[in-house]
Amino acid sequence: MKPFNAWLYAGLLSATAATELLTPDKVEAGIQKDRLENVLWNLNKIGNDNGGNRAFGTSGYKASVDFVLERVVKRFGKHLDTYVQPFEHLFHQVKRIQVKGPDGTQVYVVSLQYNPATPLPGGITGELVHVPYEADRGSGCFEDQWQNIDAKGKVALLKRGGCTFADMTLLAKAAGAKAVIFYNQTPGKNYSTATLQAKNVGKLIPSGLVSLEDGEAWAGRVAAGEKLSVTLVVDAVSEVRETWNIISETKAGDKNNIVMLGAHLDSVLPGPGVNDDGSGTAALLEIIEQLIRYHGIKNTVRVAWWGAEESGLIGSLYYGSNLTEAEADRVKFYFNYDMIGSPHPEFVVYANDERHKFGGAPLFDYLQAHGKPAKYGYVTTFTNGRKSKEANTWGKKANSVLRLTMSPFSTWEFHRLEFSPVPRPQLTRATTRLATPSTTGERLSVPLVVDAVSEVRETWNIISETKAGDKNNIVMLGAHLDSVLPGPGVNDDGSGTAALLEIIEQLIRYHGIKNTVRVAWWGAEESGLIGSLYYGSNLTEAEADRVKFYFNYDMIGSPHPEFVVYANDERHKFGGAPLFDYLQAHGKPAKYGKFGSSSDYVAFLNLGIPSSGIFTGASPTTDPCYHQACDTVNNINWEALTVNTKAAARVAAQFALSLEGVPPRNKTTINPRSRRGVRRAFDDWADTVDVVEKTHNCGPGDNLY
């Protein structure tokens, strides 16, 4: 990993010398709501000026990277060492999707991530063939469900649920179908899209997802003997693109004791990602700014803005998978701040166990002390049919949550829980011989068109660290800088980006930093944590050893926030507890929440680095604009974002001064995604990219996102 070339930002501003001694009180007091608003306003504008989003692989994400670099390099460069970590990932965007129903009228349809394009301009027209839905087996999820279905040259009509969209599409293709129309399992048009998974690029047929009402109406008419046809048009681009993580750490501080904070910088395609995770981005900027205002940092503070998080935590996983054992050992704790400004927030502190509560408990206590109903909670990965008490965190009962296990290269659909009934474990369904269902009804046809592009594009991480502080003791903070394609990502994760900029600005105002503070803005987070994973996978063991703790700040300004502090165990509560305590002390109902696989802390958990962070919720209740175009500056709970950034800044300052008692890096982790495994996955994915066909459409039509 090489330092970012500062000459690209000529004429660096000379920062005010840090003359005051660092204290948590000073850093907390320095966090200002108006500066967080300024960062989120800028991220929102970046999204609006770049097609409505800040997603990995887009000009909006590149502008987000430049924005963070302007802060951490140009403004804070005297006190921070900053790295931009480039990596590549498969970018996919559906520019237009259209379905004309059997009556010739257009119906509401959404696309799926990695959806292949149809021939243009006419698309695909075909007779509809319906595969009946079985309550415990889904629609078209098993080969025997296709045995009596004549799908050759037709368009399969399948109901969502029971198995993955990719599995259904592969079976439909094997049965001879030339396209698939999925219909949703719940009423209305307010339903989420999903992923076909990057590993399936080049293997699938085009598809679209229509409403339950349209799908059931067509299925009923087919069953009654009508012959129906539809047309599907998909205009899409799929290509490998470069993206980036930003890693920034205090020059002051012990480089063998690193406290790390992270937030993802990208948004989803539908919106600018102001809460998800602009809130975390803003918090990290504010935190690092406050930390570097003072001298006396004893432990390095490292802040990361992850890229391609919304594509499957790609940036943070990449970062983590590239850390050596020695590098991972130096990271003593990680705090993740993703969606900390939700409009109707909960205050959930990540903490799966007592190790995580080492950092989570301070967050929890802070929120509780400040009148917020903080609670410890899980951000978890569910498999089909899993009985899980973690469902209570999301207001659901056991066996009522469907959450497919996320691959390193899955898309942002896996970042959100789908509250769908789970009839039985998928493994049982897949391995048990079941009776062939009877089928009735005549066959109908419909037209379908998909236009997509998949190509490799360059992107970046930004890594910035204080010049002051022990380089063997690094405290790291991270947020992702990209948004999803649909919007500018002001909360997700402009909030984390803004926080990191504010935090680092406050830190470098003062002298006395004893531990280096490193701040990272991750690239391509929305594409699967790509930036942070790339960063982690490139750290040597010695480098990882120097990172003593990582804080992740992703979505910390959700409009209806929870105040969740990450902490799976006591190791993580080393950093989580100060966050928890701060939120509690300031009237926020902080709670501990367990880590899962949905944000950039994953790369650091893989390395055994104690981690924590704050998250304010991504559910329809806490953030109804999550991963949508409406994730703008109007989607932020400013009070939540401000108090979360203050909590993050205070704890960053504490860790910059002392890492006494920090748990050692755990080199034996239960997480199966080892550095070697992640690297292997990157290689496998790269092989897939080699066969990607680039398909572009220059014709008329509005973009879907």
Catalytic residue ranges: 309
Query: How many other C-beta atoms lie within 10 A of the C-beta of residue 365?
Result: 25
Question: For residue 277, is the peptide bond before it cis, meaning its omega torsion is within 30 degrees of 0?
Answer: yes
Rounded Cα distance between 613 and 317, Å, is 17
Task: Give dist(CA 19, CA 21) in Å, integer.
Answer: 7
Residues 6 or more apart whose Cβ sits within 8 Å of residue 182: 112, 158, 159, 160, 165, 168, 207, 208, 209, 210, 215
Per-residue CA distances from 654 to 47, 68, 174, 347, 362 (Å): 34, 24, 59, 21, 10
Distance of CA 532 to the CA centre of its chain: 11
Pairing between β-strand 562-566 and β-strand 611-615 as defined by DSSP bridges: antiparallel
Alpha helices in 262-345 (DSSP H): 278-291, 314-321, 325-329
Q: Taking every pair of C-alpha atoms in the chain, what is the biggest distance, in angstroms?
A: 82
Residues in the chain: 705
By C-alpha distance, which of 460, 31, 92 is closest to 288? 31
Q: What is the C-alpha separation between 390 and 102, in angstroms, rounded?
A: 43
Please give the full DSSP string across 63-102, using - where no structure is assigned.
HHHHHHHIIIIIITTTTEEEEEEEEEEEEEEEEEEEEE-T
* DSSP one-letter string for 189-233: S-----B--GGGTTT---EEEE-HHHHHHHHHHHHTT---EEEEE
Q: Which residue has the tokens 């920090």?
A: 662
Among candidate residues 690, 579, 597, the one with its CA nearest the CA of residue 644: 579
Please give the Cα distance from 605 to 600 (Å, whole number): 9
In the numeric block, which tokens belong to residue 641? 């974002």
Q: Angle 618-624-628 (CA atoms, 0-180°, nearest 5)?
A: 90
Distance CA 312, CA 315 (A): 9
Which residues face 297 on adjacent strands?
514
DSSP designation for 118: P
Q: CB–CB of 179/232 below 8 Å? A: yes
Decide: 309 and 524 in contact? Cβ < 8 Å. yes
Q: What does the alpha-carbon distance between residue 550 and residue 607 come to, in Å, rounded to a whole number?
A: 11
Matching residue, tokens 């919304």: 310
How far is 676 from 670, CA to CA, in rounded Å?
Answer: 14
Phi-psi region of 84 (alpha: psi -120 to 50; beta: other; left: phi over 0): beta
**431: number of Cβ within 10 Å:** 8
